[in-house]
């Protein structure tokens, strides 16, 4: 069994990865371990792009565990906000702007920012960059990227998923991402797409 550290502290992501790995990697003898289980201190996300932050997170987990690591940097790009919150999606709302922090605060701030924006102009997409590194000094990180198109709702919908899922309308399904089963979200999502690319590379 080869060990792979998942360099994320986000419980929603960890659930999706556990399910994706159970579906796609059952025969590959990979033991997926969250960085928290190995007491890894979280990396500072000082990059200016998803790929830079994913590399910082993967390298940090490799350095602290001596194991290979997989990191996910992701976020929501809203066209009417010129791509915000983007790489700052996890820290979009803050105490300074009166919303507080966390998923509910981020969603409330997003709804307020789009209050005057009509439905047709509420286009958005989730981005996900996955980085796999064999060790902290790996000079050739493997990079996989997925994106998922949708629209920002005016009221939250659904109880599954995490983050911005209750506000992310998926046109092909006619509902919010938070109304999809975990399996369906994984088939369609930015993260699911990136994992499928990783699988294709690893099986090649």
Which among ligand ITT, Mg ion, none contacts residue 141 (Cβ within 5 to 8 A by kind)? none
Helix (H) or strand (E) holding 163: none
DSSP string, 178-197: GGS-HHHHHHHSHHHHHHHH
Minimal distance in Å, beta carbon 107 to ligand ITT?
A: 9
Quick one: what does residue 156 bind among Mg ion, ligand ITT, none, with the CB cut-off 5 to 8 Å set by partner type?
none
96 is catalytic: no
Residues that bind ligand ITT (CB under 6 A): 8-10, 13, 45, 72-76, 89-90, 103, 106, 126, 161-165, 177, 189, 191
**H-type helices in the chain, by residue range?**
11-24, 50-65, 103-113, 182-188, 190-203
Residue nearest to ligand ITT (CB): 163
Nearest CB to ligand ITT, comparing residues 8 and 179: 8
Q: How far apart (Å, rounded) are the C-alpha atoms in residues 105 and 114?
A: 14
Q: Among Mg ion, ligand ITT, none, what binds residue 62 when CB lies within 5 to 8 Å by partner kind?
A: none
Q: Does 90 bind Mg ion (CB under 5 A)?
A: yes
Half-sphere exposure of residue 193: CA atoms within 13 angstroms, side-chain side:
13
Strand ranges of the sheet holding 142-152, from the earlier edge strand across to the other edge? 30-34, 2-6, 69-78, 123-133, 142-152, 168-170, 175-176
Nearest approach, Cβ of residue 144 and ligand ITT (Å): 14
> Which residues form the interface with Mg ion (CB under 5 A)?
90
The residues assigned a catalytic role are 73
């Amino acid at each position: 069994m080869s060990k792979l550290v998942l360099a994320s502290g986000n419980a929603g992501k960890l659930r999706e990865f556990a399910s994706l790995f159970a579906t796609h990697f059952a025969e590959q003898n990979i033991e997926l371990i969250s960085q928290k289980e190995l007491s890894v201190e979280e990396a500072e996300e000082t990059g200016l792009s998803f790929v830079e932050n994913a590399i910082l997170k993967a390298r940090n987990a490799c350095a602290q565990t001596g194991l290979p690591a997989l990191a996910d940097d992701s976020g929501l790009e809203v066209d009417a906000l010129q791509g915000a919150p983007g790489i700052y999606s996890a820290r979009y709302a803050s105490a300074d702007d009166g919303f507080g922090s966390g998923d509910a605060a981020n969603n409330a701030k997003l709804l307020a920012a789009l209050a005057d924006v009509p439905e047709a102009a509420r286009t958005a997409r989730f981005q996900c960059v996955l980085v796999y590194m064999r060790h902290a000094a790996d000079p050739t990180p493997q990079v996989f990227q997925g994106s998922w198109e949708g629209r920002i709702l005016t009221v939250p919908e659904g109880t599954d998923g995490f983050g911005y899922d209750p506000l992310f309308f998926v046109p092909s399904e006619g509902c919010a991402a938070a109304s999809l089963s975990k399996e369906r979200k994984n088939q369609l999502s930015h993260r699911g797409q990136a994992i499928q690319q990783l699988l294709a590379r690893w099986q090649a």
